[in-house]
Every structure is written in structure tokens, then in C-alpha cells.
């Protein structure tokens, strides 16, 4: 009986810890706004990252395959495959603002990286705002929708 009690305590403690971790709310696979790619959002060392796991268009403009990071400003990286590329980095939960912030988001279509913050909307969509020069009003936002099989 004592073993069962200990097991139950551990079980419920694990559930409570998971419920208290805001990062768990955004983990999983998300459609980008245009539904042309899917991004897996994952946690590593307490921070949130996202990598491309699926692309609707798998070829480059010249017809070659696989699709690569042709717009990247670093010529050494332009031949890397887009699938597997980490485009969301270092987001951290901010209790005061009730959002993830201090991160970066990379736009493969332009090859540009922006500062980023994100929050979950009431409708379950993930709102991301990329901006430049530390000024969120100088940027653009996007809404990601959770992918379900």
C-alpha cells in the first residue's frame, strides 16, 4: 500500500509540474499561416525552438531538389536543406507579459532574422511577432495553427 501511495504522489506531481510549465502549451507541430510549411516547436534547456519538418513545395525555383535555404545571407549556408532548419530560437516564458519573448525568428523566404515574441490566443492559434531594431511596432506578425493528423 505504501508503494502505491508513493507512486500516486509521483504521478500527480509530474502532472502538476507539466501543467505549470507554460512551454508545454505550445509544443508540437504547427502550420504556418499560409499552410505551406509545418514547424515543430520543441523545448530545449527551458527555451523554445522551432524547426521546419514539412514543406508543400519541395523544389527550388530552378527545379532542383531538395529545397534549400537559397536566400540565406551566408553563402556557406545556402545549400542546406530547409527541412530540418531551425527557424525559431531562444524564446523564453515571461510571467510578467504572459508571453514568450527574447527570441528570434528566421524567414527563409527573405533570408532575414528578426527579434521575436509569441503568445497563445484564446482561439488556440500561436501569434508570433517578428521585429527589427528592438521596436516591435517595426515588424510583422503571423498566426500559426496547430497541426492535427
Going by C-alpha positions, the residue among 91, 146, 87 that lies closest to residue 116 is 91
Going by C-alpha positions, the residue among 88, 95, 117, 72 that lies closest to residue 20 is 95
pLDDT tens digits along 39-93: 999 999 999 999 999 999 999 999 999 999 999 999 999 999 999 999 999 999 9
Strand, coil or helix: 57: coil
DSSP state of 72: -
Strand, coil or helix: 66: coil
Second-level CATH architecture of 24-146: Beta Barrel (2.40)
Strand, coil or helix: 13: helix
- pTM, to two decimals: 0.83
- In the prediction, which pLDDT does 22 show? 87
Amino acid at each position: 500500500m505504501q508503494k502505491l501511495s508513493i507512486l500516486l504522489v509521483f504521478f500527480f506531481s509530474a502532472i502538476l509540474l507539466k501543467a505549470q510549465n507554460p512551454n508545454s502549451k505550445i509544443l508540437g507541430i504547427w502550420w504556418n499561416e499560409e499552410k505551406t510549411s509545418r514547424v515543430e516547436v520543441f523545448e530545449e534547456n527551458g527555451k523554445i525552438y522551432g524547426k521546419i519538418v514539412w514543406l508543400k513545395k519541395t523544389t527550388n525555383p530552378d527545379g532542383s531538389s531538395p529545397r534549400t535555404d537559397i536566400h540565406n545571407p551566408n553563402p556557406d549556408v545556402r545549400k542546406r536543406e530547409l527541412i530540418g532548419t531551425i527557424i525559431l530560437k531562444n524564446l523564453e516564458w515571461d510571467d510578467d507579459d504572459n508571453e514568450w519573448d527574447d527570441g528570434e525568428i528566421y524567414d527563409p523566404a527573405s533570408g532575414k532574422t528578426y527579434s521575436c515574441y509569441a503568445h497563445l490566443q484564446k482561439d488556440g492559434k500561436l501569434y508570433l511577432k517578428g521585429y527589427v531594431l528592438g521596436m516591435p511596432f517595426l515588424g510583422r506578425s503571423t498566426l500559426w495553427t496547430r497541426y492535427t493528423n
